[in-house]
Amino acid sequence: MSAKVFDSHAHMDSDYFDADREEVFAKLRQEIAGMINPGCDNETSFKAITYAETYDFVYAAVGWHPEEVLRMQDDDLKKLEEWSKHPKVVAIGEIGLDYYYDDCAPRDLQKKRFIEQLDLARRVDLPVIIHDRDAHGDMLDIFHNEGKGLRGVFHCYSGSVETAKELLKMGFYLGFGGSSTFKNAEKVRSVLKYVPEDRILFETDSPYLTPVPYRGKRNNPAYTLLVAKNAALVRNTDVENLIEKSTENVKKLFSKIS
């Protein structure tokens, strides 16, 4: 295997990596083509930038995750805008809507902060990394009404083929991670089978959602390879070629990555 995978979504700022983060990064340098670490608030966005400054194969995204927006202040948008000019900040994310946890933040507030960050992405001309959990309807409405001039990826895509068709029509990429390897994930695999090769990104969402056969253990960006191998099986195609293509897709979408 010569082609190396690119992990388009991993949270190396997680406490799960506190004990051995530097060792993990040192190993990853050999194992993967690159990775993007999205932020979920100010603190994690800043950490992502720190990693990107330390490791040449690491890139950062900055943003406020829907589960964190209760703490977000208006000034934080200015902070994101400043950070967006950093040469290794390649996207605004992860941002979006999460209707799975009722107590995470009121839906109106989630939508307000999401739309503000979409406007920011348009203004600074960066792609967006979208988190959409059980909010497909509102998500489509928002993009139909305010999606003009935006590009991005729906990370860890979990919707239907029908919703995927809508998103692909709008030009979005779809990210597939460990959950696409789970036994009960037929719905995700039907989308994975359907998506054109030039719109697929791979990811881990480390430290969560660890692919089979390591499900339940800590995830790590090197396991993107397991996700890609599974995807090649599902699509009945050559894995090397699929990995190369998906890395090309990363560079096309996140144009600050060379």
**Rounded least distance, CB 52 to Ni ion, Å:** 16
Q: With respect to Ni ion, which residue has the nearer C-beta, 147 or 177?
A: 177
Contact 24, 204 (CB under 8 A): no
**Rounded least distance, CB 252 to Ni ion, Å:** 21
Q: Are strands 200-202 and 152-154 parallel, antiparallel or unpaired?
A: unpaired
Binding mask 189-208 for Ni ion (x = CB under 5 A): ----------------x---
Helix/strand/coil for 106? coil
**Rounded least distance, CB 148 to Ni ion, Å:** 25
**H runs (alpha helix) in the chain:** 21-31, 42-54, 74-84, 107-124, 136-146, 161-169, 186-194, 224-235, 239-253
Please give the residues from 197 up to 256 whose contact with Ni ion meets the rule CB under 5 A.
Answer: 205
Q: With respect to Ni ion, which residue has the nearer C-beta, 3 or 203?
A: 203
Q: With respect to Ni ion, which residue has the nearer C-beta, 206 or 247?
A: 206
* H or E element at residue 132: strand 128-133
- The DSSP code for 254 is S
**Rounded least distance, CB 2 to Ni ion, Å:** 29
Q: With respect to Ni ion, which residue has the nearer C-beta, 62 or 239?
A: 62
Q: With respect to Ni ion, which residue has the nearer C-beta, 13 or 205?
A: 205
Residue 53: asked if its preceding bond is cis (omega within 30°), the reply is no
Please give the residues from 117 up to 156 whose contact with Ni ion meets the rule CB under 5 A.
Answer: none
Q: What residues line the site for Ni ion (CB under 5 A)?
A: 205
